[in-house]
């Protein structure tokens, strides 16, 4: 992996982590309303799971497990 590719992955990783945190905030805000939209909460949680998986994939690319 080139240095430029690594920098790009780190940038994407930072964006994904930020979006993941933002989804936490959004979900909490919706859940705290008097009548929360359960369908929207479900969609946001599904998106959050997708982001978690992408974050793990990129982490694995940047920091591979090397068994010596």
Task: Kindly write down the DSSP assignment for every residue of 8-47, as one continuous string.
Answer: HHHHHHHHHHHHHHHHHHHHHHHHTSSS--HHHHHHHHHH
Continuous segment of H or E residues that includes residue 56: helix 38-62
pLDDT in the model for residue 65: 81
Reference 41, options 30, 25, 54, 52; nearest CA is: 30
In the numeric block, which tokens belong to residue 46? Answer: 């599904």
pLDDT in the model for residue 68: 58
Q: What is the mean pLDDT of each run of 10 residues along the chain (68 residues)?
A: 94 98 97 96 98 97 81
């Amino acid at each position: 992996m080139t240095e430029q590719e690594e920098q790009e992955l780190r940038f994407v990783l930072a964006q994904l982590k930020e979006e993941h945190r933002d989804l936490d905030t959004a979900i909490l805000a919706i859940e705290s309303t008097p009548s929360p939209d359960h369908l929207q909460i479900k969609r946001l949680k599904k998106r959050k799971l997708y982001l978690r998986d992408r974050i793990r994939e990129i982490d694995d690319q940047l920091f591979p497990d090397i068994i010596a």
